[in-house]
Structure 1
Amino acid sequence: MRGPAPSQSRDEIVDAAIAMADAGGIGAVSMRAVAAALDTGAGSLYRYLSSRDDLLDLMADRAAGELRPYPDVTGDWPDAMLVIARRQLDLYRAHPWLVEILARPAALGPNSLAWFDHCLAVLRPVPAPATAKFEAIAMMTGVVSLFARSESAGPPPGFDGIDLAAFPDLVAALTAPPAPAARRDLFAVTVRGVLRGLLDDAG
């Protein structure tokens, strides 16, 4: 009897690994654990995957598919890129483990390549070289990951047991009354500032 097609088995493996990472973090994902979740042996996974890194690449690319549908490329490019960045942030909120694997070398899959292609389509009107656009996209992703990490880390620790007398400017900043103006959207300001700073000067 002929077994399942490799693409179907690979999809099942990736689905199981993502569910495991969502529930217990990326550290919970191992070839043995994923095989156990699928009620099979770890050796059978190597028929479709070369290594755990291969699995992580597939997981990241599958998650990148959730960034669709992409925003319209017409109109103001910073507005479109900000929408893309917000969707990235929502994706990292849904799958916090994605931020943890960003720094590792990765093989880009079709969903990730489609996302990069769309970003370049949005930036098509910008008179900057392709290298500057790639740098801007990478820096935007870095900013998004920083905000995602900050959210997942929770509030900063307090200063119990520390004599703050030696830090007068810090004390003054912490005890200053709040500014009357409405709180600004720091995420939007940062993303726009990074993109414009890199691309306006590169044209």
Structure 2
Amino acid sequence: MRAAIAMADADGIGAVSMRAVAGALNTGAGTLYRYLSSRDDLLDLMADQAAGELLPYPEISGDWPDLMLRVARGQLDLYRRHRWLVEIMPRPTAFGPRSLAWFDHCLGILRPVPAATAAKFEAIAMMTGVVTLFARGESRGESGGSPAGFGGMDLAAFPNLLAALTTPSPPPAGRDLFDVTVRGVLRAVLGQG
């Protein structure tokens, strides 16, 4: 996993193949297939290995929104270190023990919240979605004069969208958009607004 992660960090997830990882380990791809059935298995293991970097988790004491925000910031930092994680997030995945430990910790933070378990699962998923969107936006940056995330598309046909994206109003002093978004999503999904 370390070899595959180093490869993805250096050259992007597209550089990671069974053959390339085997080459980095001075062995043949067939050797890897004794342990993994596909590249998807490799990607799942890489994601789980990276999830281990989320340790140590914040101690479960204090205000749950503050704790969940710390967890979300840890995720965002992880996605900044391993940009390829954002690329593999949309695919179906098998969770490994490190990812499940992180999820379990989030549920522990949310234990005192009087909401249904399904709502807590949704809140964690939505938080991860928000983190992924922020990380994706950071990694794309500006593209050809068009606002981030629009791949150089000419937005002239969408004047309201163009104005909102090119001359956004500054956030109120002392408010961080990431913090406000994560807290708002969590409170809304958990009925704690």
The CA RMSD over aligned residues, in Å, is 2.6
Q: Is the 8 A contact 2:127 2:182 kept in 1?
A: yes
Residue 48 of structure 1: how far off its partner (Å): 1.3
Give the corresponding residue for 1:118.
Answer: 105
Q: Is the 8 A contact 1:85 1:144 kept in 2?
A: yes
Q: In structure 1, what is the Cα distance between the partners aligned to 2:133 and 2:87?
A: 11
Give the corresponding residue for 2:61.
Answer: 74
Residue 173 of structure 1: how far off its partner (Å): 8.1
What are structure 2's unaligned runs of at least 5 residues?
147-151
Residue 47 of structure 1: how far off its partner (Å): 1.4
User: Taking every aligned residue pair, what percent have the same amino acid on both sides?
Assistant: 70
Q: Is the 8 A contact 1:62 1:111 kept in 2?
A: yes
Pick one of 163, 166, 176 that aligns with 1:185. 176
Structure 1's 163 and 113: CA in aligned 2 closer, same or farther, altered over 3 A?
A: closer
Alignment pair present for 1:134 and 2:121: yes
Q: Which is greater in Rg?
A: 1
Give the corresponding residue for 2:185.
Answer: 194
Q: Is the 8 A contact 1:164 1:171 kept in 2?
A: no
How many residues align? The count is 187
Alignment pair present for 1:84 and 2:71: yes
Alignment pair present for 1:61 and 2:53: no
What are structure 1's unaligned runs of at least 5 residues?
1-13
- Higher mean Cα deviation, 49-58 or 163-172? 163-172
Give the corresponding residue for 1:51.
Answer: 38
Give the corresponding residue for 1:167.
Answer: 159
Q: In structure 2, what is the Cα distance between the partners aligned to 1:142 and 1:30?
A: 26
Pick one of 3, 6, 28 that aligns with 2:15. 28
Residue 67 of structure 1: how far off its partner (Å): 0.3
Q: In structure 2, what is the Cα distance between the partners aligned to 1:68 and 1:30?
A: 28
Alignment pair present for 1:152 and 2:144: no
Residue 167 of structure 1: how far off its partner (Å): 3.3
Pick one of 143, 149, 160 that aligns with 2:130. 143
Residue 157 of structure 1: how far off its partner (Å): 3.9
Q: Is the 8 A contact 1:17 1:59 kept in 2?
A: yes
> What letter is aligned with 1:114?
A
Q: In structure 1, what is the Cα distance between the partners aligned to 2:155 and 2:99?
A: 49
**Alignment TM-score, normalising by the size of structure 2:** 0.87
Residue 201 of structure 1: how far off its partner (Å): 5.8
Runs of 4+ in 1 over 4 A off after TM superposition: 162-166, 168-176, 178-181
Q: In structure 1, what is the Cα distance between the partners aligned to 2:134 and 2:87?
A: 13
Q: In structure 1, what is the Cα distance between the partners aligned to 2:108 and 2:164?
A: 47
Structure 1's 46 and 171: CA in aligned 2 closer, same or farther, altered over 3 A?
A: closer
Q: In structure 2, what is the Cα distance between the partners aligned to 1:81 and 1:27?
A: 32
> What letter is aligned with 2:190?
L
